[in-house]
Structure formats: structure tokens, C-alpha cells
Amino acid sequence: MKTCKINAFDKNKRISTQDLLQLIQEEIDKGKTDFEINACGQHDIAGALWAKNKNKKLNFTIRNPGQRVGAMAMKNTFITVIGSASADVGWLNSGAEIIVKGDAGDTASHCAASGKIFIAGRTGARSGALMKHDPKFKQPEFWVLKNTGSFSFEFMGGGIGVVCGFECGDLPSVLGSRSCVGMVGGVIYVRGKIEDLASCVEVVSLNKEDKKFLKEGLKEFLEKIDKEELYSKLTKFNEWKKIIPASKEKKVKKISVAEFKKNHWFKEGLFGDLVEDNGEIFYLGQSGCARLRKPFWNKKLCIGCNLCLNNCPNQAIEKQNNNYISKDTLCTGCGICEAVCPKSAWNTEDIF
């Protein structure tokens, strides 16, 4: 099919992001699947597009995109950025393949839930942060040829990050500073120096499956970014390490927020030089009639396992004579009781 070429400027006037996205969607609705887009920094290009026939592949070649190229892009979307891309490449990627043939800005692959992102250069701060894995879908992959900026992979809950540390010279860490803070799931493969990792993770050696995954994955990655010649250099697995969430035994002991602020955050408290901070936490959840939802309990379904009682974050559930009662003054309608109940005995309904 003929490629649809779009210049995102008209008579030297840049067209808006919204107009460009509408134009692309109109062409998709007419049946177009292949796009070449010369952008002027417009945002969200090729993200979250629905082809009428969901099995149709949508192909994009993009130059000079703005932020969030491929954000929330779905399965069967294939994006190649010629040159570098700005922040949020593949934000919340939902199944697309995204190739950046240069560097990527901050927060590349942030929140990615599925699909693959391939970066031929470096990425900025907070890249790979909050990646996750819903077992209903294939886990997300995020491949970087060189290094990431600081705070990379923080709060990672699932998925796979691969940082090849190519041409990183004297960098003290190919993952930047304070990487992996709050990481609870997933795996990161790293080649090159790493330091200043969060204490919630541990560094281990590769096993047979890891090497197999990298052998196959690196082949695909290097082909996508036109760097096949690096394959033998990057497959010396004694140069690689694996980062995973620390086992329970190795995790640091939990401490109170007040103690954390006093001894581990800024030593004097966040604004210690200006105001006194006693570590008190202000609770902002809406309860009572300000809630949007309220849980209802069905006695006939309940088996009395107490899961709801033990998991309610607000201690709102009380057991009285084998009946479970949610106290309006404490309940925020969060729905956790409904989610944990094995018998669907709680049902949270909108009350507005």
C-alpha cells in the first residue's frame, strides 16, 4: 500500500498536535496503514490509535517528534523514529514496537505495560520507571544500547530492562545515580559499571535462561537499530549482571516515616531550616458522604475468612455477631475488600 506522507507544517506554519493526530486518525479510518511523518515537535504521535480492523498493522516512520511518541500505543503498531526523540518515548506502551535510532529523553518506557522499546543511544532520567507486568499480556521489554540517566527503573513492578553499557567510557554507573529505588518486580540486565543502587535490590549472576534470553534478544535489538556488528562484543556474558528485587531476608528492616525523614532523607527534614517537621502524616482519603463509592456486604456469600477485615487499609470493617460491617466514617470506598474477597461478598457501588 502507498505510504501516506504527512508534513506537520503547512506553508511554513506548524500544525497543532491535535490537528496532526486527527489527520492521522482520518487516514487510518480511510484504510491507510503506512505513514511517514515529518513532525515539528508535535506530541503523542502514533500513540493509542485504533485501526478499525485490529489485526491490521500500522507502520510509522517519524522524524523530529515531540514528547510521548508512541504513548499508549497498542499491539500491531510499529514505530521507527529517525534520529533522537524527546521525553516519554513509549509512555505506558501497551504492546507497540518502538525503535528510536538515536537518543531518547527522560522517562523513556515509563509505565510501559507491554510491547518492546529499542533505543539506539542513551536515555534520560527515570527511564524504565514504573514498568509493570499484567500476566494477561506479554511483559514489556526496554532495550538501551548505551546508558540511562539517574533514578532509572524506580518503582519497577515487572517487565525486562536491558542496558548494554556500550561506549560508556568512565561513567561511574551506566544506570545513573539512585537507580531501582522501590523496585519490587521485573529484572534488569546490565553490562558495565553500576553503583549507588537502592538497597531494595540485589545484583546476581546470569543463569542459563538469562543468557539464552539475551542471546536471542540482542540479535533482534541490534538488527532493529542497525548495529549487528556489535553482537559478538555484547555477548560476552561475564560482563553482564542481573538486578532483581532483593529477597525477603536481604531487604532492609522497615522503619517509620518519621525515622526515615529524620535519619535518611535530608538530615534536617525536608525544609528543616525553615519549619519544624514532626513527621506527622495528613490523611487525605475522602470518607463518609464525600466518598464516590461504598461497599455493600452479602451475608449469603460470605464464608467468614476475615480477609476483608485484615486488608482494609482504614480499619473500617468490623465483625459483629458474624456480620461484617463497613463503618462509613472510616471507609473511603477504595474497593480493596471487594478485590480480596474470595467469594465476591463485597460489592462496591457508585453513590453519586
Rounded to a whole number of angstroms, the minimum distance from the CB of residue 299 to ligand SF4 is 9
Q: Which is nearer to ligand SF4, 7 or 306 (CB)?
A: 306
Q: Which is nearer to ligand SF4, 257 or 301 (CB)?
A: 301
Residue whose C-alpha cell is 543502587:
197
Binding test (CB under 6 A) with ligand SF4, winner from 225, 307, 323, 352: 307
Among the listed ranges 120-128, 138-146, 173-181, 339-347, the one in contact with ligand SF4 (CB under 6 A) is 339-347
Q: Return the bridge partners of 75, or none.
A: none
Cell of 62: 517519524
Residue 304 lies near ligand SF4 (rule: CB under 6 A) = yes
Q: Which is nearer to ligand SF4, 184 or 303 (CB)?
A: 303
Residue 303 lies near ligand SF4 (rule: CB under 6 A) = yes
Rounded to a whole number of angstroms, the minimum distance from the CB of residue 348 to ligand SF4 is 6
Residue 326 lies near ligand SF4 (rule: CB under 6 A) = yes
Number of residues that bind ligand SF4 (CB under 6 A): 28
| DSSP per-residue letters across 83-150 | S-B-S-TTTT-EEEEEEESS-B-TTTTTT--EEEEEESS---TTTTTT----TTSPPPEEEESS---T
Q: How far is CA 305 from the centre of its chain?
A: 34
Cell of 242: 542481573
Q: Using DSSP, state whether 230 is helix, strand or coil.
A: helix
Residue 305 lies near ligand SF4 (rule: CB under 6 A) = yes
Rounded to a whole number of angstroms, the minimum distance from the CB of residue 319 to ligand SF4 is 8
Residue 302 lies near ligand SF4 (rule: CB under 6 A) = yes
Alpha helices by DSSP H, the chain: 17-29, 208-224, 231-234, 257-263, 307-311, 336-340
Rounded to a whole number of angstroms, the minimum distance from the CB of residue 135 to ligand SF4 is 22
Give the amino acid at 106.
Answer: D
Residue 351 lies near ligand SF4 (rule: CB under 6 A) = no
- Long-range Cβ contacts of 320-323 (<8 Å, 24+ apart): 323/297, 323/299
CA-angle at 308, arms to 249 and 184, nearest 5°: 30
Q: Which is nearer to ligand SF4, 157 or 335 (CB)?
A: 335
Rounded to a whole number of angstroms, the minimum distance from the CB of residue 328 to ligand SF4 is 9
Q: Which is nearer to ligand SF4, 105 or 333 (CB)?
A: 333
Among the listed ranges 42-50, 114-122, 218-226, 305-313, the one in contact with ligand SF4 (CB under 6 A) is 305-313
Residue 316 lies near ligand SF4 (rule: CB under 6 A) = yes
Q: Which is nearer to ligand SF4, 106 or 338 (CB)?
A: 338
Residue 286 lies near ligand SF4 (rule: CB under 6 A) = no
Q: Computed from CA positions of residues 212, 213, 215, 220, in that sequence, does the dihedral angle turn out positive or negative?
A: positive
Residue 335 lies near ligand SF4 (rule: CB under 6 A) = yes
Rounded to a whole number of angstroms, the minimum distance from the CB of residue 184 to ligand SF4 is 21
DSSP state of 162: E
Q: In Å, how far are 80, 114, 145, 154, 264 from 185, measured between CA atoms? A: 29, 15, 22, 11, 24
CA-angle at 268, arms to 264 and 270, nearest 5°: 80
Q: Which is nearer to ligand SF4, 28 or 312 (CB)?
A: 312
Residues in contact with 277: Cβ distance below 8 Å, sequence separation at least 6, in sequence order: 261, 269, 270, 271
Q: Which is nearer to ligand SF4, 215 or 319 (CB)?
A: 319
Rounded to a whole number of angstroms, the minimum distance from the CB of residue 290 to ligand SF4 is 13
Q: Which residues bind ligand SF4 (CB under 6 A)?
A: 295, 297, 302-308, 312, 314, 316-317, 324, 326, 331-337, 340-341, 343, 345-346, 348
